[in-house]
């Protein structure tokens, strides 16, 4: 036990001594994660919102989530490596594939689940389809949409660590290179990645709070609202047609 404590002490020392290396790798890590999440948002949000607005494609939306869960991140990164080779974009694209399912499914479920009465009332007030989307459905759906973005963000920051194996850079470079940095370097980088993931989780959570209309603020953590870990009740709600997701 004391031996392991020494390792953690050495690891913290490594982080302080090698702070330039750590900062550089953290920057790479954030760049990679940020690029992947941005691309995933651009792809998945419009599709999810549109399908939800039209109340169409529940089968697609739910199965994308199930398939996304079954994809091992290591396998996706390895396959990206096979087809696109080593490098930033190969890994970024693999991360995009992993980030799309939670964002798309949550956006779909969120908009699809907006109360029909609210939409009806908006239509009665003379709102156009576009106004209904931007002024009624989107604000009401925001908490759940953000829960999906939060899951995707934490997932991408975590998985970007594995990216090092396919030459994506980031803090994983240190974690998988024990020969170069020693156990203290590996453990130090592991601590940094864990803190980074928790910070990313908190940051998106704060953003979510700031963007949620005051009338809708609920004391719910992302995990409680998010489909990928949600209890069954929430999982079954969107499937009006009766079969379980």
> Distance between CA 35 and CA 82 in Å, rounded?
21
- Which listed residue (27, 134, 194, 217) binds another protein by CB under 8 A? 194
Residue 133 CA neighbour count, 13 Å, CB half: 14
Kindly state whether residue 244 participates in binding another protein, applying the rule CB under 8 A.
yes
CB of 205 to another protein, least distance (A): 11
Number of residues that bind another protein (CB under 8 A): 58
The interface region with another protein, picked from 34-42, 72-80, 112-120, 209-217 by CB under 8 A, is 72-80
The interface region with another protein, picked from 18-26, 36-44, 141-149, 230-238 by CB under 8 A, is 230-238
Kindly state whether residue 197 participates in binding another protein, applying the rule CB under 8 A.
yes
- Listed in sequence order, the residues at least 6 apart from 200 whose beta carbon sits closer than 8 Å to its beta carbon are 33, 153, 154, 157
Residue (40 or 200) nearer to another protein, CB:
200
Range list of H helices, the chain: 2-17, 19-54, 58-70, 73-84, 88-112, 116-124, 129-131, 138-159, 172-175, 178-211, 222-225, 232-236
> Distance between CA 206 and CA 217 in Å, rounded?
12
Interaction site with another protein (CB under 8 A): 1, 3-4, 7-8, 66, 69-76, 78-79, 81-82, 86, 154, 157-159, 161-162, 164-167, 172-173, 175-177, 179, 183, 186-187, 189-191, 193-194, 197-198, 201, 221, 223-224, 228-229, 231-233, 235, 242-244
């Amino acid at each position: 036990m004391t031996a392991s404590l020494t390792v953690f002490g050495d690891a913290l020392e490594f982080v302080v001594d090698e702070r330039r290396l750590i900062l550089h790798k953290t920057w790479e890590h954030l760049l990679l994660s940020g690029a992947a999440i941005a691309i995933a948002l651009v792809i998945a949000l419009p599709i999810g919102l549109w399908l939800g607005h039209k109340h169409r494609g529940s089968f697609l939306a739910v199965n994308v989530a199930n398939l996304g869960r079954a994809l091992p991140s290591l396998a996706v990164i390895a396959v990206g490596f096979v087809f696109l080779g080593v490098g930033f974009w190969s890994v970024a694209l693999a991360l995009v594939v992993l980030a799309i399912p939670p964002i798309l499914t949550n956006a779909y479920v969120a908009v699809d689940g907006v109360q029909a009465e609210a939409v009806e009332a908006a239509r009665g007030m003379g709102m156009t389809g576009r106004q209904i989307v931007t002024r009624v459905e989107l604000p009401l759906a925001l908490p759940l949409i953000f829960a999906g973005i939060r899951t995707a963000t934490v997932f991408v920051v975590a998985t970007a660590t594995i990216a090092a194996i396919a030459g994506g850079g980031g803090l994983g470079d240190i974690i998988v290179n024990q020969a170069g940095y020693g156990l203290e370097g590996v453990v130090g980088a592991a601590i940094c990645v864990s803190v980074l993931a928790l910070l990313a989780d908190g940051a998106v959570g704060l953003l979510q709070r700031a963007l949620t209309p005051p009338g809708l603020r609920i004391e719910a953590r992302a995990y409680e609202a998010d489909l990928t870990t949600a209890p069954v009740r929430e999982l079954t709600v969107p499937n009006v047609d009766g079969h379980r997701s």
